[in-house]
Amino acid sequence: MHSVLWRLLRYARPHFGVLLLAFVGMAAVGLTTGAYAYLTGPALRFLLSGGEEGFASAQRVPWLADLPREAALWGFPLVMVIVGAAKGVGYLAQFYFMGLFAQRVVKDLRRDLFQRLTALSPAQLARERMGDLLSRFSSDVSAVEAAAMYTVGSYLRDTLQVIILAGVALAMSPMLGGLMLLVIPLAALPASKLTRKVLKRTREGQTQLGNLAGQLHEGLGGLRTIQAFNGQAAELARFSAFAQAHEKAVVSAAWARGAVPGLMEVLAAAALAGALAYAASARLMEPEALLSLLTAVILVYQPVKDLGRVTQFAVQAGAAGERLFALLDMKHPVEDAPDAVPAPTLSRSIQFEGVRFAYGDRPALDGLTLELKAGQVTALVGGSGGGKSTVTSLLLRFERPQKGQLLLDGVDADRYTATSVRAQFALVTQEPLLFHGTVLDNLRYAKPDATREEVEAAAKVAHADGFIRALPEGYDTRIGERGVALSGGQRQRLCIARAVLAQAPVLVLDEATSSLDPESEREVQAALAAVLPGRTALVIAHRLSTVVNADVLNVMEAGRVVESGSHAELLQRGGRYAALWRMQTEGSSERGAA
């Protein structure tokens, strides 16, 4: 845990100036607390005695020793007010600057988390539960925030208070003060054991909270399926099991957390009682000195208990930090080589030479050899699991070939930076992904500096300009998260327009029409018919009717190309493509007749 906390503390370094201002406030709180303890005995004698004894008591305060009688009598209460005001200002400064410090720390942490997540490959994210990732962004980061807000400040402030108050107690009576302060190291060993238990249970609780969030995300995302199969009871049982495990871990941690201040209370009471009995019987001190001593010791126990309490925040932050750094330490499978250079604009071809790739122990590509020539539309067809989408993942550097080479104009793609390789492609996927914002915002995502005229020209090429202008505010219409305000065909045409606007050398269509209804598919096919001629494109399709005009069709099975040629050539051969064509066209005829 200590290594995790040290890593978290690195986020504090850029904000040391803010922490220093908070420390000034903490110092004011610590010093004024010590002053309160020192002044308590003289103040009580001043209050009860008045007259000459009160004046003598007031003069024991260094600040008032040289003042005349009347000034001392009025100055003593004024000193108490000034001390209280200084302590209030110290608290204000401490909490304001510690809050500012905590927010800046978690802002940097959240930024790094988001940056890491957006740098991972889709396959890596697919292996994680989305709810658990969201839990790390929310509850785990909140645990770090609480530690930054309270733990760092409390360690500095309370440690300073303990030192000052212990100094006051020992100054009043080294023997009695030392005996009463002995309780602090005596409580350290059992407190340490309890803290280890808190850490263990907190880790379990954070993990179960991630499971709860994951279950909630799955339940909301699959609501139609759950209700269609009457699966509410089964989902509730799973959710309840995670909730029960979370409750067990949290309650166990709470018990151990509460035992630490409880232990301090018992030991402190025993120490105070013993010291009082001894001091009363031996008459070792003047009453006001004894009162100042007792006040200092009583006040010192509170920051000690606070240190034990805020240590639990540090424990929670440590457990949360482990989960956060597990995410931050994930590496993208395609990291740039130290000598990688930007890729030049693709001009001739893309080649896969003997490429092998597997997801775990499941092969996806088995010695794939494939060429995509510039200026041609190349199609990949075949059944599910043939490896077609893996080709896209390798092209866009989401993954790296495990064997073989991917060549861009004859040069290994590993020689180039991943971002420059991705810039060679404009991708349109099966699921049309749009962002919350306006139509214009979504189209400019591919080219942020595009002019309005460029955006509209791309929309016209993609047959999207007409329906965009029919929207309530045209290109400035907000379309909602994931484009919920539009039909499937409209969303896909916006994605095609975005790809056109990118002006990338290669257009990649990965099952771009497979999830559309017939009418939407016709709209998108019309858009593609206008977009594809003369472009270098890779079209991945399940329905063969969508790629009959491709220059080259490649039939993939079991991670290899088993047939290659034009539509007419492949039909004439009577091989696998011809069989797929008959199957799909006959199926379409039967559905039409029905």
For residues 86 and 28, the answer to whether their CB atoms sit within 8 Å is yes
Q: What three-state secondary structure class fits 558?
A: coil
Q: Do residue 541 and residue 464 come from a single domain?
A: no
CA separation for the pair 271, 196 (Å, rounded): 26
Residue ending a domain, among 284, 303, 328, is 328
Q: What is the DSSP letter of 345?
A: P
Cross-strand pairs, 540: 380, 510
**Between β-strands 536-540 and 506-510, what pairing exists: parallel, antiparallel or unpaired?**
parallel
> Taking Cα atoms as reference points, which of 483, 469, 536 lies closest to residue 505?
536
319 in the same domain as 370: no
DSSP assignment letter at 478:
B
Judge whether 455 and 500 are in contact, CB under 8 Å. Answer: no
| 3-state DSSP assignment of residue 173 | coil
Let me know whether 259 and 180 are in one domain. Answer: yes
The candidate with the shortest Cα–Cα distance to 327, out of 152, 421, 199, 206, is 206
Instruction: Look up the CATH number of the domain holding residue 416.
Output: 3.40.50.300
For residue 98, give the CATH number of its domain. Answer: 1.20.1560.10
One domain, residues 206 and 143? yes
182 vs 8: CA distance, rounded Å = 33
Answer yes or no: is 86 within a domain: yes
**Any domain includes 466:** yes
Structure tokens at 157: 């402030």
- Return the SS3 of 566: coil
Assess if residue 309 is contained within a domain.
yes
The answer on 570 and 581 residing in a single domain is yes
- The tally of domains found in the chain comes to 3
Last residue of a domain, one of 305, 328, 351: 328
512 within domain boundaries: no
Give the pLDDT score at 285.
Answer: 61
Alpha helices per DSSP H over 331-451:
388-395, 418-422, 439-443
- In the three-class reduction of DSSP (H, G, I as helix; E, B as strand; rest coil), residue 206 is classed as helix
**DSSP assignment, residue 81?**
H
pLDDT value for 378: 92
Please spell the DSSP secondary structure of 157-216, one letter per residue.
HHHHHHHHHHHHHHHH-HHHHHHHHTHHHHHHHHHHHHHHHHHHHHHHHHHHHHHHHHHH
Say if residue 91 is in the same domain as residue 144: yes
For residues 576 and 497, state if they share a domain.
no
Kindly give, in sequence order, each residue whose CB lies less than 8 Å from that of residue 439, ignoring residues fewer than 6 positions away: 468, 471, 474, 475, 476, 477, 479, 494
The pTM of this model reads 0.66
- Other Cβ atoms less than 10 A from the Cβ of 409: the count is 14
Q: What is the C-alpha to C-alpha distance for residues 154 and 264, in angstroms, rounded to an integer?
A: 17
pLDDT in tens, the chain (594 residues): 567 777 888 888 888 889 889 888 888 887 887 776 666 666 656 555 554 454 455 455 555 555 555 565 566 677 778 888 888 898 888 888 888 888 888 889 888 888 888 887 777 777 777 777 777 877 788 888 877 777 776 777 777 777 777 777 777 777 766 766 666 666 666 666 766 676 677 777 777 777 777 777 677 666 666 665 567 787 788 788 878 887 887 777 777 666 766 666 676 667 667 666 666 555 656 666 666 666 766 676 677 767 766 777 777 777 788 888 888 888 877 888 889 999 999 888 999 999 999 988 888 999 999 999 988 999 999 888 888 889 998 998 988 899 999 999 999 999 999 889 988 998 888 887 888 888 998 899 888 899 999 999 989 888 888 889 998 888 998 886 655 668 878 888 888 889 888 888 998 988 877 666 677 677 777 777 777 777 888 998 888 888 888 899 999 988 899 999 999 999 999 889 898 888 888 755 544 444
Q: Are 19 and 163 found together in one domain?
A: yes
Helices (H), 222-231: 223-228
Write the Ramachandran bin of 377: left for phi over 0, alpha for psi from -120 to 50, otherwise beta: beta
In a domain, 511, yes or no: no
Q: Is residue 416 part of a domain?
A: yes
Name the nearest CA neighbour of 41 among 226, 405, 296.
Answer: 296
Which helix (H) or strand (E) segment is 408 a member of? strand 403-408
CA-CA distance, 567 to 539, in Å (whole number)?
A: 14
Q: Among 280, 303, 328, give the residue marking a domain's end.
A: 328
Longest C-alpha distance within the chain, in Å? Answer: 122
Residue 528 in domain: no
Total Cβ atoms within 10 A of residue 479 = 22
341 DSSP β-pair partners: 416
- Do residues 188 and 199 touch, judged by C-beta distance below 8 A? no
Q: Look at residue 358 and give its three-state secondary structure.
A: strand
Residues 21 and 148 both lie in one domain: yes
- What is the model's pLDDT at position 163? 79
CA angle 382, 387, 390 (to 5 degrees): 135
Domain that holds residue 453: 425-503
Quote the radius of gyration of the chain (alpha carbons, Å): 36
If asked whether residues 433 and 573 sit together in one domain, one would say no
Do you know the residue count of the chain? 594
Q: Across 413-524, where does the E strand assignment appear?
A: 425-428, 506-510
Residue 182 contacts residue 304 (beta carbons within 8 Å)? no
Residues 210, 302, single domain; the answer is: yes
Asked if the structure places residue 136 within a domain, the reply is yes
386 secondary structure, DSSP code: S
Shared domain for 313 and 407, answered yes or no, is no
pLDDT of residue 412: 92
Residues 334, 412: contact at Cβ < 8 Å?
Answer: no
